Amino acid sequence: MNRPVQTEKPAAPSTEPERSSTGELLTTISGEPVKPLYKQEDANVDYDRDLGDPGQYPYTRGVYETMHRGRMFTMRQFAGFGTAEETNERFRYLLDHGQTGLSTAYDMPSLMGHDSDDPLSLGEVGREGVAIDTLDDMTTLFQGIPLDKVSTSMTINAPAAIMLAFYVAAAERQNIPPSQLAGTFQTDILKEYIAQKEWCFPIDHAMRLVTDLIEYCTREMPKMHPVSISGYHIREAGSTAQQELAFTLADGFAYVKAGIERGLDVDDFAPRLSFFFNAQIEFFEEIAKYRAARRIWARELRETYGAKNPKSMLMRFHTQTAGVSLTAQQPEVNHIRTAIEALAGVLGGTQSLHTNSYDEALALPTEDAVRIALRTQQVIAHETGVTRTADPLGGSYYVETLTNEMEAAAYDYFRRIDELGGIVESIKRGFPQREIADAAFRYQREVDAGERIVVGVNKYELEDEEQMEILRIAPELERKQIGRVQAVKATRSVPEVEASLKSLREAAATDQNLLYPILDCARVMASEGEIVHALQDVFGTYREVPVF
């Protein structure tokens, strides 16, 4: 790693953090000390070396010259529930209301590689996202939506290669070649082992699948972003902002290294790696996190990974407001939290944004709640004026100091990760998992002790709160989906499916790119669960050693 010259390890937080006269902690929610005032001497920056104009290396101030003035952030609300039919309806609703991109939420069985009719899926089908079992479901999901005209984000990781194959095959049915498909597959398996915990295979085999997908997209899908390197879930699991930054970047470097080791030229795939960060409620710390992230990524891609094309060095990212900051108590207050978090994402230079709905501490959002969440973005974009100028907080003594500190904290973690043998080895040893669990526990203790005020939860509570309407996923949807997948299984050619799965198993035992045989399985209507099981026959499964 190219440790920057200007960053020094910040002073270790004293054992007794400062508190206000009323006992509130004066550290950030990540536990970092904050001074009463920041001055010029705190913000040690060399403009050309550390900041640069927007669109100029190291891109601290933004990846485009005119930022949101020239290119408004994409309003991309994550959606999915029930069967492909219900979600297709929600997609069309969002497009009709001015949303400019689609984002698919999969249900838990789909995320874990189980078919809807698997006994392990019982009670979970279509609950937290849409159930996609076969090409037939993927086709229905995008019915009436021309796939060469929209960009689609797919929040799918362990089975990402399978869902990409379903998507490519669904496009074939609309006579659209893979080269015309634009969007993003999340595919970030490392953060699954770190934080979100939806996996199918042991970690090394999972990394091979990620690399296969990167290679396939590099060859066949020039408009597709093969990996969205995600800090969001790491933060939701309770990490600090510094941990989110460090572990996400470390994961990103691991994918870059894997692509290079596969024989790809870094400049052929790095321009289509993108990022996904959380926007928590600690406003300035979040903005500093995005700025530091851009600077570190640009420097490391150029200095360590040999990128020559500036596009390889640009960190473009999606932001989602923090689900964990939402409260079940006085949920209307969540509108305000979300607006502030979204503003941090925009001021931090995000390329796209998802704003959570105020009812999400209790259930998936209702249509009305989603509309207000989208309106929040529209107010920021069109009424506040904050999008007229790039990086409006650049040069703030506080924000520049925080950006430097954030960067130093990340490099400190990079060093510890290197000492453990890299991020994959660190994950196998439970290092990031333990760091996150410790941070989550500390924060909970601070809230329990009243040292952090959460409005409506440990202060300003209401005695009798009215219950609000929440979205109920009808249990019939699970039966409907089970019916759908069983109907597909009853009408396809069984010998074709068996032959395709056999070829896949054989390919899995070699080092050939598995996207091609998976695509063959998809076309003959092999289900997600069947494809996962075929791969597990060769790769095995994964079980975490639980730590708390």
Partner 1 sequence: MSETATSPTPVSKKKIRVVVAKPGLDGHDRGAKIIARALRDAGMEVIYTGLHQTPEQIVETALQEDADAIGLSILSGAHMTLVPKIIELLNEQDAGDILVTVGGTIPADDIPPLKELGVAEVFTPGAPTNAIVDFINGAVEV
Q: Vertex 321, ends 155 and 195: CA angle to 5°?
A: 55
Report which of 303, 296, 359, 348 is spatially closest to residue 326, judged by C-alpha positions. 359
| Separation of CA 495 from chain center | 38
- Of the pair 120, 487, the CB lying nearest partner 1 is at 120
Quick one: which segment of 51-59, 179-187, 233-241, 286-294 binds partner 1 (CB under 8 A)?
Answer: 233-241
- Of the pair 390, 535, the CB lying nearest partner 1 is at 535
Residue 120 interacting with partner 1 (CB under 8 A) = yes
Residue 127 interacting with partner 1 (CB under 8 A) = yes
* Whole-angstrom distance, CA of residue 388 vs CA of residue 70: 9
Binder to partner 1 among 309, 327, 396, 486 (CB under 8 A)? 327
- Of the pair 198, 341, the CB lying nearest partner 1 is at 198
**Interface size with partner 1, residues (CB under 8 A):** 47
| Separation of CA 227 from chain center | 9
Q: How far is the CB of 128 from partner 1 (least distance, A)?
A: 6
| Residues in contact with 35: Cβ distance below 8 Å, sequence separation at least 6, in sequence order | 42
Quick one: which segment of 159-167, 221-229, 361-369, 411-419 binds partner 1 (CB under 8 A)?
Answer: 361-369
Q: How far is the CB of 547 from partner 1 (least distance, A)?
A: 8
Amino acid at 225: H
- Of the pair 26, 122, the CB lying nearest partner 1 is at 122
Q: How far is the CB of 181 from partner 1 (least distance, A)?
A: 28
φ, ψ for residue 227, nearest 5 deg: -140, 135
Residue 363 interacting with partner 1 (CB under 8 A) = yes
Binder to partner 1 among 115, 117, 128, 133 (CB under 8 A)? 128
Binder to partner 1 among 437, 455, 488, 538 (CB under 8 A)? 437
3-state helix, strand, coil in the chain (%, to 5): 50, 10, 45
Quick one: which segment of 72-80, 280-288, 324-332, 342-350 binds partner 1 (CB under 8 A)?
Answer: 324-332
* Whole-angstrom distance, CA of residue 45 vs CA of residue 63: 19
The total of other beta-carbon atoms located within 10 Å of residue 172's CB is 17
Q: Tokens at residue 23, please?
A: 């006992």
| Residues in contact with 536: Cβ distance below 8 Å, sequence separation at least 6, in sequence order | 200, 201
Q: Tokens at residue 161, please?
A: 């290669």
Report which of 441, 438, 527 is spatially closest to residue 484, judged by C-alpha positions. 527
Residue 108 interacting with partner 1 (CB under 8 A) = yes
Residue 174 interacting with partner 1 (CB under 8 A) = no
- Of the pair 193, 411, the CB lying nearest partner 1 is at 193
Q: Identify any residues that bridge with 104 across adjacent strands, giving them in sequence order.
A: 79, 154
Concatenating the DSSP letter of every residue in 229-272 gives: EE-HHHHHTT--HHHHHHHHHHHHHHHHHHHHHTT--HHHHGGG
* Whole-angstrom distance, CA of residue 59 vs CA of residue 299: 9
Residue 197 interacting with partner 1 (CB under 8 A) = yes
* Whole-angstrom distance, CA of residue 131 vs CA of residue 109: 7
Residue 457 interacting with partner 1 (CB under 8 A) = yes
Residue 68 interacting with partner 1 (CB under 8 A) = no
Q: How far is the CB of 494 from partner 1 (least distance, A)?
A: 28
Q: How far is the CB of 423 from partner 1 (least distance, A)?
A: 19
- Of the pair 26, 474, the CB lying nearest partner 1 is at 474
Positions touching partner 1 (CB under 8 A) are 108-109, 111-112, 114, 120-124, 127-128, 192, 196-198, 236-238, 324, 327-329, 361-364, 437, 440-441, 444-445, 447-449, 454, 457-458, 467, 470, 473, 543-548
